[in-house]
Chains A and B, each alone.
Chain A
Amino acid sequence: MSNEPIKVSAEECVGCGLCVKKCPFQAIVLKDRLAVIDLTKCTLCGACAEACKFDAIEIKEKKAADASVMAEHKDVWVFAEQYEGRINSVTYELLGKGRELADTLGMKLCAVLLGSGVKDKAADLIARGADIVYMVDRPELAYFQDEAYAATLIELVKRHKPNIFLCGATTLGRSLVSRVAVTAHVGLTADCTGLDIDPATKNLLQTRPAFGGNIMAMIISPNSRPQMATVRHKVMKEAVPNPARTGQVLVETVADAILKTRAARIRFEPEAGTKVNIADADIIVAAGRGIQKSENFAIIKELADTLGAAVGASRAAVDAEWIPYSHQVGQTGKTVCPKIYFACGISGQIQHLAGMSSSEIIIAINKDPDAPIFKAATYGIVGDLFVVVPLLTAEFKKILKR
């Protein structure tokens, strides 16, 4: 067998060019009435093989997985992210989606809870849909440590063999689960916004944005288990708690060696001055170049405080040092997905849009009627933010009786 991962049969190919048109990556050209694939551009997505009417394109099939090993892997797992004993709301969103997936597959939904003194949180996870909570309660796990957390998860995965393992695409989650997937040699799809089960194969269909949200990709991990995915915050619906639900809490013990960590915390300083963090905010009030100076963020903060919202910023405002980088939304900042995003005095550069265009409702307030932000906006107001924002604060105070 040839080592080429994809090849065109010179006998079958008639040079019709159908595959050239279908290739999403412009990796195919016709040479002497024969399709030639540029492997440096090809991602082996299979669009050409599907389009070819002459079965001329063959993609090397990977070794099929051992069916009995695949079948050993049961249950849908959710990583229960906690900070100082508070469960991150993304966990509830994962439990909501995880419940659906588990029911479709006829499997159990399990939450994995790591921490110290977190025993009383297990009931909360059961109320939100977990059938089993695997808990490791150790002082070494009191706060997130990449190595100890990853090694513990790897141990639990080996022990109990889940079929699907979901984790929030949070700062913590992205740092953590890549280590688990690499060690287990399984597929990991980052930042999913859609999860479904393929009715025929029972594979997890994972949909995620790429290229800053301009393109969606559907990804499977057909030959390895667990199928791992991180899921974007605020996309899935939270599971509604039902205190009457019952489930099992299984306390897992792990060897001390697993909890060893080389990169160790010296100190931690909570972010000062911000009550809500942009990554998990339901509402974000963001400002850009139009806010003009640092002190003017006061009117943005006042609207944010009224709404219980987080304060965001464009790159321009961060680069001008009007507000710390932790508030930056966009390609070199954070990707956010709140229910409402107020863009005040933000022109809407493509790099900014990449970080917020999947927000549910986008409000644009800008003096320039031609600002590109208006193209992304649900509602647009052409006007001076120094007039509009305080008026908004006053109106919202009225309806919220604050």
Chain B
Amino acid sequence: MRVVVCIKQVPDTTNVKINPETNTLIRDGVVSITNPFDMYAIEEGVRIKEKLGASLTVLTMGPPQAEAVLREAISMGADEGVLLSDRAFAGSDTWATSYTLAAAIRKMSDVGLVICGKQASDGDTAQVGPGIATHLDMPQITYVRKIDELTTDHVVAERLLDEGSEVIRSPLPCMLTVVKELNTPRLPSLRGKMAAKKAQIVVWGAKDLDCESAKLGLEGSPTKVVKIFSPPARGGGQMLAGEPADVVKQLVEKLRDVVIATAG
């Protein structure tokens, strides 16, 4: 069985700001990392590989430099990295991204599980995982926090919903999105680092995939970004000073109306 983990290279983190004068993103000094949620997906993939002897493929879409996240995943224990990189993919929204990733997964043999992080830290949409599952007509279990059982034909996993936790059984192949509670990602071993250095990254473009060009990149993306801008600045905060009992009284007075309206 093959496990495919889909990952994304994102700017380290939320340090991205807009220059208010030019209205452009300030990316100076911002390094790229593997999306934090994807680290749990990679770790789970490695554990499954170790337990079941599955093969583990990591898959990403992005510019050539995105191969760095594939090498990091290989250093943690992934067998193979596949990079989808092509000008035809430029301008992809979540629809076109999930379409392209799904086309790449379709090309791989013996896929039993597709694992994605819950969401990416730059876009925060959480749409690509379920999107891939839909394109591949796979069942899905989202927000997985524990895998109870996994064989070559089914998975039993526990997912975290707002009201509680739900245990779901699904036949394979199945798509999972995972949350932080699932595991603690390992640090790469020295051997892993060597393997990552030497690994040949497989690069696929649009021609390598069985897909319709009208469904790729800008053309295949139903959404369009009209503009980006800075969020309205928060009003300056107020520090309350004095003896604790006085400060608390001041604060309670300020919150009184809101608290009575919501809690009262």
Q: Which residues of A contact B (CB under 8 A)?
A: 3-5, 21-26, 39-47, 60, 62-63, 83, 144, 146-147, 150, 170-172, 174-176, 178-179, 181-183, 185-191, 205, 209-224, 261-271, 277, 279-280, 282-283, 306-309, 325-326, 328, 331-333, 335, 339-340, 350-351, 353-354, 357-358, 360-364, 374-384, 387-388, 391-392, 395-396, 399-400
Which of B93, B130, B238, B258 neighbours the largest number of chain A CB atoms within 10 Å of its CB?
Answer: B130
**B237 near A378 (CB under 8 angstroms)?**
yes
A262-B239 contact given A188-B94, A351-B13, A400-B260, CB 8 Å threshold: no
Verify if B187 is at the interface (C-beta below 8 Å from A). no
Least distance between A84 CB and chain B CB atoms (Å): 8
**A175 near B25 (CB under 8 angstroms)?**
no
Partner of A185 from B95, B128, B140 at Cβ < 8 Å? B95
A215-B218 contact given A263-B141, A333-B180, A395-B252, CB 8 Å threshold: no
Q: Mark B223-242, 1 if CB is under 8 A from A, else 0.
A: 11111111100110111110
Chain A residues whose CB sits within 8 angstroms of the CB of B23 once the complex forms: 22, 24, 47
Partner of B167 from A43, A266, A380 at Cβ < 8 Å? A266
**B163 near A271 (CB under 8 angstroms)?**
yes
- Complex Cα distance, B36 from A351, in Å, reads 11
Given known contacts A218-B228, A379-B251, what 6 new A-B pairs fall within 8 Å (CB)?
A25-B24, A45-B225, A185-B222, A188-B94, A188-B127, A388-B247
A40-B13 contact given A265-B166, A380-B240, CB 8 Å threshold: no
Verify if B249 is at the interface (C-beta below 8 Å from A). yes
The residue of chain B having its C-beta at the shortest distance from the C-beta of A326 within the complex is B160
Interface of B: prevailing SS: mixed
Least distance between B119 CB and chain A CB atoms (Å): 8
Chain A residues whose CB sits within 8 angstroms of the CB of B3 once the complex forms: none
- Complex Cα distance, B230 from A216, in Å, reads 6
Chain B residues whose CB sits within 8 angstroms of the CB of A224 once the complex forms: 222
**B25 near A25 (CB under 8 angstroms)?**
yes
Least distance between B113 CB and chain A CB atoms (Å): 12
A215-B231 contact given A62-B219, A187-B223, A381-B247, CB 8 Å threshold: yes
Least distance between A213 CB and chain B CB atoms (Å): 6
Which of B18, B218, B224, B234 neighbours the largest number of chain A CB atoms within 10 Å of its CB?
Answer: B224
Verify if B245 is at the interface (C-beta below 8 Å from A). yes
Q: Which residues of B contact A (CB under 8 A)?
A: 11, 13-18, 22-25, 27, 36-37, 62-65, 85, 87-88, 90-91, 93-95, 98-99, 119, 121-131, 133-135, 139-143, 145, 156, 160-171, 174, 179-181, 217-219, 221-231, 234-235, 237-241, 244-245, 247-249, 251-252, 254-256, 258-260, 262-264
8 contacts between A and B (CB under 8 A): A21-B24, A40-B63, A146-B139, A215-B16, A217-B228, A221-B224, A379-B254, A380-B239
- Complex Cα distance, B224 from A378, in Å, reads 35
**A339 near B262 (CB under 8 angstroms)?**
yes
**A361 near B255 (CB under 8 angstroms)?**
yes
Interface of A: prevailing SS: mixed
Least distance between A8 CB and chain B CB atoms (Å): 14
The residue of chain A having its C-beta at the shortest distance from the C-beta of B121 within the complex is A331
Least distance between B236 CB and chain A CB atoms (Å): 9
- Complex Cα distance, B227 from A263, in Å, reads 39
Chain B residues whose CB sits within 8 angstroms of the CB of A381 once the complex forms: 239-240, 247-248, 251
Partner of B263 from A40, A183, A400 at Cβ < 8 Å? A400
A5-B252 contact given A215-B231, A268-B164, CB 8 Å threshold: no
- Complex Cα distance, B220 from A224, in Å, reads 11
Chain A residues whose CB sits within 8 angstroms of the CB of B15 once the complex forms: 214, 350
Least distance between A73 CB and chain B CB atoms (Å): 13
**A182 near B162 (CB under 8 angstroms)?**
no
A214-B231 contact given A178-B131, A335-B124, CB 8 Å threshold: yes
Least distance between B192 CB and chain A CB atoms (Å): 23
**A266 near B169 (CB under 8 angstroms)?**
yes
**A219 near B255 (CB under 8 angstroms)?**
no
Partner of A188 from B95, B143, B181, B239 at Cβ < 8 Å? B95
**B255 near A340 (CB under 8 angstroms)?**
yes
- Complex Cα distance, B134 from A66, in Å, reads 25
Partner of A282 from B162, B218, B262 at Cβ < 8 Å? B262
**A171 near B143 (CB under 8 angstroms)?**
yes
The residue of chain B having its C-beta at the shortest distance from the C-beta of A335 within the complex is B124
